[in-house]
Amino acid sequence: MTLQQATELLRDHEYPATTDQLTDSYGDYELDLPNGTETLGDVFHRVESETFATSGEAEETLFSAVSSKAIGRKGYSDRDPTTLGTVGPGQVSF
């Protein structure tokens, strides 16, 4: 499942809910990530036990606790400025 599908699952859940309740309900669901897979249970086990008042709080935790398998190239950003003391690409105007 995609992260978007996972957030839809969380939105349909009844709140307040704890990380343990979400793990019991959806822990076996597997996320398809750009660099592999992991279960929702894996994601929620990375955070301390807490109670979510809304689905938005659970979604924020999902996005913050998902592993590095969810990102593209580690350390890469085409928006970061060139580091001081190094020569970077020239300015391009569109």
Q: State percent of the chain over pLDDT 90.
A: 65
CA distance 26 to 15: 14
Structure letter (DSSP) for residue 52 = E
Judged by DSSP in three states, 38 sits in strand
- Segments making up each domain of the chain, as ranges: 3-70
Task: Pull the structure tokens for residue 45.
Answer: 């086990």
CA distance 17 to 15: 5
User: CB count, 10 Å around CB of 67?
Assistant: 15
pLDDT at 78: 67
pLDDT at 68: 85
Model pTM score: 0.72
Reported as a single tens digit per residue, the pLDDT across 59-92 is 999 999 998 888 766 666 666 666 677 776 666 7
Tell me the sheet residues that pair with 25.
Answer: none
Which pLDDT band, with edges at 50, 70 and 90, does 7 fall under?
Answer: very high
